[in-house]
Structure 1
Amino acid sequence: MLISLDWLKQYVDIKEDIKQLENTLTMIGQEVEAIDIQGKDLENVVIGQVIEYGKHPEADKLTLLKVNVGEEEPLQIVCGAPNHKLGDKVVVAKIGAVLPGDFKIKKSKIRGVESFGMLCSEVELGLGEDGDGIIILPETATVGQEYREYAGLDDVVFELEITPNRPDCLSHIGIAREVAAYYGRKVKYPDYTVSEIIESINNNHVSTRIEDKERCKRFAGRIIKNVTVQESPEWLKKRVRSMGLKPVNNIVDITNFILFEYNQPLHAYDMEKIEGKQLVVRAATPGEKIVTLDGMERELNNGELVVADENKVLAIAGIMGGENSKVTEDTKTIFLEVAYFTPENIRRTSKNIGLASDSSYRFERGLDIENVPEVLDRAAALIAELTGGEILHGVMDKYTEKYEKIEIPLNIPRLRAFMGKDIPHDTVGTILTNLGLGIKTLDQNTLLVTPPSYRGDLSRPEDLYEEVIRIYGFENIEDKMPVEEITPGKEDKGIAIVGRAKNVLAKVGLQEVINYSFVSKEAIEVLGITEPTMVISNPISEDMSVMRPTLRYSLLGNIRDNLNRNQNDLRFFEVSKVFKPGEEGLAEETYRVAMALAGKEDKTLWNPKPEAYDFFSLKGFVEKFLEYMGISRYQLTRSEDKNFHPGRSADIKIGKFVIGTFGEVHPDVAEAMGIKKERAYIAELDLTMMMQYMGNTVKYERIVKYPEVTRDLAIVLDTDVLVGAMIDSIKKTSNFIEKVELFDIYQGDKIEEGKKSVAISIVLRKKDGTLEENEINTTVEKILGLIKKSYNGEIRQ
C-alpha cells in the first residue's frame, strides 16, 4: 500500500520528520517497506523564460536561446525541440543536474556553440511519455522556482506492508486514524457538501435489485447528470500519480482518489448504456461474456457475481467494470455505485477468472459496510464540483443484512498481567477512545468495548490487548524474565541416535547432504522398487510426487550433479526418514543412513597419486560407522540387491535380519541416473532397526603388557569364496587371536584360473604371559586346517 505524506497531512497533523514517522508506523504494526522521496532526481531543475530567440549558426533545426533562470546572467542554451518561442516559460536543467537514468547535465559544445544547460521534456524528467517537445508552462509560473516544488513533485511516498486483518489501513484515512491514535491527535475528515437538485432519483431513471443476497449485502447509488468529462485538475492528477496510477479523466480519477482516501471501491456507469433502466446484481449464466476495462474478453462459466442490465453484463462485481458501460468524453449522466460484496466470493471469482485489481484486493479483505453512504456522498460531491454535474435528490440503497455492533468485555487486571505492566486504567480508556472504539464501564475492573464498523478484526479481549500494547508502545514495556520451575525433559531416543549417527559420519570424513523427502515416479522405475509407495495427491511438481522409500536415488542424484560440475572427490552421507504406506492410509516412517562415494581423493602433498574409491573404501566407512555406533556382532554376506553390481556388494546381517546393503552401483542404474564419468558406491542402512542392537555402554580393558606376534599368510582360494566369512571363522579358532586383517588380493599369471591369492595378517597375543613357540605353531596349524576344510584353501607356494 502506497501512502503519500503530503496527502496524509490533509487528515492529521504531522510534525515528525520522515525517520520518526517511519519508526512510528512500523511500531504500531504498519511496517514501512520502502520510502520514495519524489523529485530527488530534479535537483538543479528550475523554471526559466526564453528572453532571446535565434537560429543556430551551423544547424537549421537547432535554436540558440538566452534563458532567464532567476540568476544575474541568463543562460545560453542550444535546443533542438520544435515547440518553443520567445517569452515561453520552460523547464531548465542547469549544469550539475542529474536527471533520471543517471543523465548528467554538463557544459557542452553543440556544433561549435557552447550550451550551459538543457530545456526538458516529460520523458527526460521521467514524468511522462511525451518526448516530441519540451514542457511549456503557463505564464503564471515563477522564474527561478524549483520545478519539483512548482509541480508538486516534492512528496514522500511510504510503501507499507498491511497485514490481511487490517483492510481499514489500505487508505489514507485509515493510516491517519492510526497516526492520530498514537500521537493523541484528531483526525480531520473530508469536509464536503452534497448539493442536490429538486429532481429526485426514481425507477424512471433506473431501478436496482439484488438477486444474490448471499454475496451482495449492500448496493447503493446516486445519479449525477449534465457532467462534463474532461482532464482532471492538477491536484487530482498529482494524487492519482502518487499511487502509481495514470490519470484518465475527472470521473475515473475521482473514483480512484476515493478508493485510496476511504478504502472503498466505486464504479461509474454511463446511464445511456444501461438498457432497460435497471441494474441487477446476480449470478452470471454459463457462457455469458464481457470485455473488461483492460480490453480482455472474459467468459463466465462458474456463476460469477455480476452487475447487469436487462440484456448484458456491465461489470464483474467487485473486480472490474466492462467496456460496454464505461465513462467516455461523450458521457452526460452517470450512475455512481458503491457496494459491499462478500470477501470469500470476490477471492474465489478473482482466482477463477485470473483477474485481480485494486478493487478486488480490498473486497477480498472485507470493507466497512456502514461507510457506504458517506463514501457515496463524498464522491458525488467531488464529481459535481469537478464536472459541473447536478446530483439528483435521493439515494438508491439496497441493504439486505444490517451490520450488528458487538460488545467485548475487557478485564483490566488480565490486560495488565498479559502486558507485564501496571498500566493505568485511564491510559487504557484513552488509547481505546483514540482508536475510535466506544467504551462503557461495566465495573471497576471491566470495560465494555464496542469496535467501529471498520474494525472487523476486533472480536475478543485478546484483540484489545494487542491494540492497547501497540499504541502504548512495546518500547515502554520493561523486559522481565518469567520465573518458572521448569523440569528438563528427556531427549527422544530416536532423535539422539540420529544426531549421534550424523556426528560419527562427519568425524570419519563424510560430508552431509540434505535432500527433499520427495522423489519422482521415475525414481521408482529406475530403482526397480515393487513395494507400495506413498503417492502425493497434490504434489509441488511431477519431480516431487512420491514420498521417497529409499535414500539411494537422492544420493545418486547428488553424485551425478557434482560430477557434471567437475567435482571428483565425492564422499557424502545423509540421515533421514523414508516412507511407505501404513495403517489407515498413514505413512510408516523409518530412519535410514546412506553413504555415497565416487571419484578419487583430491591430490595433496601426502597423496600425490590418488587412487579411485572402490568397494573396500566404502566397506571401511561402513565398518567404522558400525563400530562407533556400538554394533559388533554382524556378518557380511553376498547381496542379491538388483541396484548393486553382482559380486561387488554385500548385505549386513545381524542374525537373520538384513540391516543394510552396500557396494558398487549396478551399471544399468548408474546409466539411468546419468552417472558416466566414475563408478558410484552406495551404502544404505536401516537406522531404526539398528537401534535395538546398539550397545549403550563402552567397555574398557587394561592394556596388555605382553608382546604381540604377527603371522602373514598367503592363501589360494576359489574366486567365489567370501573372504569376510573366512576371516570371521578364523577369529573364532583361538583365544590368542587378537586381530585378523586382509591386506592384499591377487589374481594374475601365477595364479590358476578360477583362483585368487588372499594375503592376511594375523596378530596373536596372550593376556597373561608371553606366547610360546608351540602355542603359536598350534594356533597357525588350526587356522590352516580350518581354511583347508571349510574353504578349500591352501598355502600359496
Structure 2
Amino acid sequence: MQVSIKWLKDYIDFTETPEQLADKLTMAGIPVENVVDPGEGLEKVVTGRIEKLEPHQNSDHLQICTMNVGLAENIIIVTGAQNVAEGQVVPVAMVGAHLPNGMKISKGKLRGVASNGMLCSAQELKLDLEKLPEEQKTGIFILPSDTPVGIPAKDVLGLNDVVLEFELTANRADCFSVFGLVREIAAITGNKPHFPEIKVNEDDNTKLNDIFSVEIADPDLCSRFSTRMLKNVKIGPSPEWMQQRLEGAGIRSINNVVDVTNFVMIELGHPMHAYDYDKITGKKLIARRAIEGEELHTLDDTSRKAKGEMLVIADSEKAAGLAGIMGGFETEITDTTTTVVLESADFYGPCIRRTARACGLSSEASGRFERGVDSETTIKALDRAAQLLQEMGACTVCEGIVDVYPNPKQANYVTFTPEQINNHLGTNIAKDVMLNIITSVGFDVTKDENDEITVKVPSWRNDVTCMADISEEIARLHGFDKIKSTLPNGVSMQGTQSAKQTFIDKVKASLSSQGLYETISFALTNEETFNKLNIPQDSPLRKAVPIMNPLSDEYPLVRTTLLSSIFDNLARNLARKNDDVALFEVGSVFFPKALPVTELPDEVVKIAGAITGRRNAQGWNQTNDMVDFYDAKGIIEELLANLRVTRYTVEAGTHYAMHPGKTALFKKGRDVIATVGEVHPAVLSAYGITKPVYIFELDATTVMKYMAKDFKYKALPKYPATSRDLAMLVDVDVNAADIEKAMTKAAGQNLTQITLFDVYTGKQVEEGKKSLAFSLTFQSNDKTLTDAEIDPAIEKIVAKLQKDFNANLRG
C-alpha cells in the first residue's frame, strides 16, 4: 500500500514532515517502509523559455540557446538536441543541479562557447516513459507553451509530492485505504479529519430495479452484491488531480470510469468494477461458483478454464469476470461505452486468495478482498464513484440501487474494565484516557457503568474481537515508549531435548559418520509416485492426506513413505551425473485416521536411505568396486550398534520397492525394525535409473522401543580366547542365522562369538546342499579354557545341528 502526502492532506491537516509522520505511524503500529520523494534531484531544475536559437559556429550539430529562466538576465546554454525551437518551454537544469540519473551540472565550454546549464530530456528527469507520447520519449522534454518560466520543474511535472510506502500487517485491512490512514493520523495528531460529503444527484429518471437485477447464488462466497447504473457516459481522460493521486498510489491512469473505480478503491478501501451495460446478456449479474471447465475470457485478453471452487460474476449466459480479481473481456469499458453498471460487493477472502493463486493473478483488488473488506461500505463506494463521475460531467445517474444483502453483518461489541486493560498491559492508564483513545479511532461507547465499559466496534475493524484487541489499541496509541519495561515473572527451567529428538540426533550422527549425506525434502508427493514405487493398490500407503490448496498440481498429497523423497533426490543426482550417491533422510510421514480428513493425521517418523555407485572415492590408490547389498546391510548393522539395539535376527523378506530374494528384514520378535534390499527393477525403470541401487527403511518408534535403556560396562578379559572352526553341509534353504541360534543355545556361556567365514556351493557339494563354515570363539572371565572343557561344548553343538538341521560335518 502506498499513498501520497497530498492525498492524505485532502482529508486532514497536519504539520508534521513526511518523515515525522512516518515515524509516528510506525510507532503506532502502522509501519511505513519507505518515504519516497518523486522529485528528488530536481531541486535546481526550473522551467525556461527558448528566446533565441542559433547554430554553433564551430559545430555542425550544436545549437546556442538564449534561455529565459525567470532571472534578471537570460542565460546561454549549448545543446545538441534537434527537437527544440524558439518559443518552447523546457526543463532547465541549472548549474549545481544533481539530476536523478546521477548527472551533475556544472559550468563549461562547448567548442568555445560557455554553457550555463542543460536542457533536460524525460530520461534525464527519470520520468515514466510509458505514460508519454512517442515524440516526448526522446530528445528534450517539451512543456506546454503556457507554462510559466522560472518555477520549479517538479511543480509542473506533478512531482512535488511525497509518497509513503506502507508495510501493513494482514489484520489491518482498514488501513489499505486513505480513509483508514486518515483515521489513524487523526488519532495520532489529535486533528479532526474532514472527509468529503458523499451525495449523489439521481438526475436520470430511469429506475434501475426496472431494467437490471442481481442474484447471489452462493452466499457463502459473496455476502453482499450492490450495483448502480450510470447513463450518458462520456469516456475520456481523468482530471489532472486524480491522475496525480492515482500515480502516487502506484496506479496508472486509463480513463475516467476506470480511474474513478481505482480512486474509490484506494480512498475507501473497497474494490469496485465497471461493466458495459449493453454487453451484459439478460441484463442480470449473478455471483456464483464457476462451472467446472467453463471458459472465461479476462481483461488481460487471456482465456482461462475455470474450476468449480472459483467464484465468478456471470450474466444470464456466461461468466463475465473472476470475482474480486479481474473482469471479463466481453463486458469491459471501451471508448464506445455509454451506459455503465458499477459493482461493489463483499467476497469471501480465502476463496479470492485461492483463485488468485491458481490463476497467477494478483491485484490491488484481490489483495484487499483477501484481507477482508467492510461489507457496510458497498453503497458508499457506489455513491462516491457516481458522485465523482457526475462532478466531471461524465454521466447521469439512474434512480435507485440494486442491493442484495441476505445476511447483514451484525455489530460486534466488546466489554472490558480499565483494571483489566491495565493488568494486561502492566500500566496505570486513567479511564478517561482510555476512552479518548478508543473513541478517536471510531469505537462507540455504548455502556459505561461501574467501570465496566462496552464499546461498539466499527464495521471496518474486523481485527478487533475481544478485550486483548482493545488493550492493543490503547497501548499503541498511548505509546509503547510510555510503557515501562519489566522483567517477566516465573520459574526458570532448563530446556532439554525429548527422547525422540535425542534419538534422531544419534541416527543422523551415525549415518553421517558412515559417509551418507543428509537430505531434507518437502513432505509432499503425488499419486504417480505410488505407482513408481510399486505400491499395491490396496496398500494403506496410498491413502494419503490431500492438500486443499496445493502449491502446484505436482504435489497435491502429503507423503506416506519417506522413499518417495529418497528416490526423487536420488534420480535428481543421477540425472546430473553424480553417479556415486549415498544419502539418507529422517522425516515424518502422515497417515489419516479416515478420509476425508476430520481430525489430525498420525505423524510417524521414518528413516530411509539409498546408496549406489563406487564403494570408495575415486583415486589412484582406491579400487573401483561397486557397493552391493552387504554395504547397505552393514550400514544398518552399524546404526543399530550405535543405538544399542542387539540380539536381533536377519531373515529374508519382501518389500514393495525391493527386489524379490534380495531383501532382508531386521527383526526383534515379530517387529520389523529395519528393511534392507536391492531396488526392484520396475522401480528403477520408473525413475529412469539404469544401475543397481540399495535402500533401507526404518521406523523410529520401533527402533526406540528396542534401544537398551540400562547397560553395564565390564573390564577387558584377563584370559585368552580359544577358537574352533566347524564346516558343515546343510540344505540350501537353511538360514545361517538359525544355525547360529542353535549353536548359542547348545554351547553354554563360554561361547562368546560366532563368525560365518565361508559359504560354498559347487561341484564338491551335492545338489541341494551348501557348505557353511563358522569360527567359534570360547572365552572365560575366570580361567584359561582347556580342550577338555571346550570339546563337550563342541559335541553338544554338533549333536544339536545334526538333530535340528540334518547337518553333516565336513573334514
TM-score tier (shorter): 0.7 to 0.9
- Counterpart of 1:561? 572
- Counterpart of 1:682? 695
C-alpha deviation, 1:158, in angstroms: 2.9
Give deviations 1:369-423, integer Å, cap 9, x for gaps. 368469736963x556554x7989x974567778876654332222222223222
Distance in 2 between the 1:749 and 1:320 partners?
84
- Counterpart of 2:674? 660
Give the 3-state SS of the residue equivalent to 1:740 in structure 2.
strand
2:376 is matched with which residue: 369, 391, 395? 369
- Counterpart of 1:80? 82
Q: Residues 531-610 of structure 1 correspond to what in structure 2 (within 5 A)?
A: 531-532=538-539, 533-536=542-545, 540=550, 543-544=554-555, 548-578=559-589, 591-600=605-614, 603=617, 608-609=622-623
Give the stretch that moved more between structures: 147-156 or 530-539.
Answer: 530-539
Give the stretch that moved more between structures: 491-500 or 698-707.
Answer: 491-500
Q: TM-score normalized by structure 1?
A: 0.77
Does the 8 Å CA contact 2:42/2:125 hold for their aligned counterparts? Answer: no
Give the 3-state SS of the residue equivalent to 2:49 in structure 1.
strand
Counterparts in 2 of 1:770 and 1:348: CA distance versus 1, 3 Å: closer
- Counterpart of 1:341? 345
Does the 8 Å CA contact 1:304/1:349 hold for their aligned counterparts? Answer: no
Counterparts in 2 of 1:697 and 1:96: CA distance versus 1, 3 Å: farther
- Counterpart of 2:635? 621
Give deviations 1:649-700, integer Å, cap 9, x for gaps. 42223345544331333444334333334x3222223444445544321133
Does the 8 Å CA contact 1:56/1:78 hold for their aligned counterparts? Answer: no
- Counterpart of 2:4? 4
Q: Residues 135-150 of structure 1 correspond to what in structure 2 (within 5 A)?
A: 135-139=141-145, 141=147, 143=149, 145-150=151-156
Give the 3-state SS of the residue equivalent to 2:80 in structure 1.
strand
- Counterpart of 1:769? 783
Q: Residues 493-532 of structure 1 correspond to what in structure 2 (within 5 A)?
A: 501-502=507-508, 504-506=510-512, 510-530=516-536, 531-532=538-539
Distance in 2 between the 1:546 and 1:486 partners?
42
Counterparts in 2 of 1:203 and 1:363: CA distance versus 1, 3 Å: farther
What letter matches 2:571 in structure 1? Answer: R
Distance in 2 between the 1:525 and 1:193 partners?
63
Give the 3-state SS of the residue equivalent to 1:421 in structure 2.
coil
Distance in 2 between the 1:713 and 1:217 partners?
89
Give deviations 1:31-70, integer Å, cap 9, x for gaps. 445554323465765434324424578998x562325385
Give deviations 1:715-769, integer Å, cap 9, x for gaps. 8888776444444444442433322335676889999999988775544322111
Does the 8 Å CA contact 2:743/2:800 hold for their aligned counterparts? Answer: yes
Give the 3-state SS of the residue equivalent to 1:136 in structure 2.
coil
Distance in 2 between the 1:648 and 1:783 partners?
30
Does the 8 Å CA contact 1:218/1:369 hold for their aligned counterparts? Answer: no
Give deviations 1:416-447, integer Å, cap 9, x for gaps. 22223222212211211221222255224122
Does the 8 Å CA contact 2:636/2:674 hold for their aligned counterparts? Answer: no
Counterparts in 2 of 1:469 and 1:208: CA distance versus 1, 3 Å: farther
C-alpha deviation, 1:22, in angstroms: 3.8
Give the 3-state SS of the residue equivalent to 2:474 in structure 1.
helix
Q: TM-score normalized by structure 2?
A: 0.76
Counterparts in 2 of 1:723 and 1:610: CA distance versus 1, 3 Å: farther
Counterparts in 2 of 1:220 and 1:655: CA distance versus 1, 3 Å: closer
- Counterpart of 1:172? 178
Are positions 1:412 and 2:418 aligned together? Answer: yes
C-alpha deviation, 1:467, in angstroms: 2.0
Are positions 1:25 and 2:60 aligned together? Answer: no
- Counterpart of 2:708? 695
Counterparts in 2 of 1:566 and 1:478: CA distance versus 1, 3 Å: farther
Distance in 1 between the 2:414 and 2:494 partners?
39
Give the 3-state SS of the residue equivalent to 1:53 in structure 2.
strand
Distance in 1 between the 2:381 and 2:414 partners?
26
Does the 8 Å CA contact 2:581/2:612 hold for their aligned counterparts? Answer: yes
Does the 8 Å CA contact 1:295/1:323 hold for their aligned counterparts? Answer: no
Give the stretch that moved more between structures: 367-376 or 314-323.
Answer: 314-323
What letter matches 1:130 in structure 2? Answer: P
- Counterpart of 1:425? 431
Are positions 1:120 and 2:121 aligned together? Answer: yes
- Counterpart of 1:202? 205
Give the stretch that moved more between structures: 572-581 or 528-537.
Answer: 572-581
- Counterpart of 2:65? 66
Does the 8 Å CA contact 1:122/1:131 hold for their aligned counterparts? Answer: no
Give the 3-state SS of the residue equivalent to 1:74 in structure 2.
strand
Counterparts in 2 of 1:670 and 1:322: CA distance versus 1, 3 Å: closer
C-alpha deviation, 1:88, in angstroms: 1.4
- Counterpart of 1:466? 472
Give the 3-state SS of the residue equivalent to 2:423 in structure 1.
helix
C-alpha deviation, 1:709, in angstroms: 3.8
Counterparts in 2 of 1:80 and 1:730: CA distance versus 1, 3 Å: farther
What letter matches 2:80 in structure 1? Answer: V
Are positions 1:236 and 2:242 aligned together? Answer: yes
Does the 8 Å CA contact 2:526/2:554 hold for their aligned counterparts? Answer: yes
- Counterpart of 2:455? 449
Give the 3-state SS of the residue equivalent to 1:463 in structure 2.
helix
Distance in 1 between the 2:468 and 2:732 partners?
78
Give the 3-state SS of the residue equivalent to 1:685 in structure 2.
strand
Does the 8 Å CA contact 1:77/1:114 hold for their aligned counterparts? Answer: no
2:133 is matched with which residue: 126, 130, 133? 130
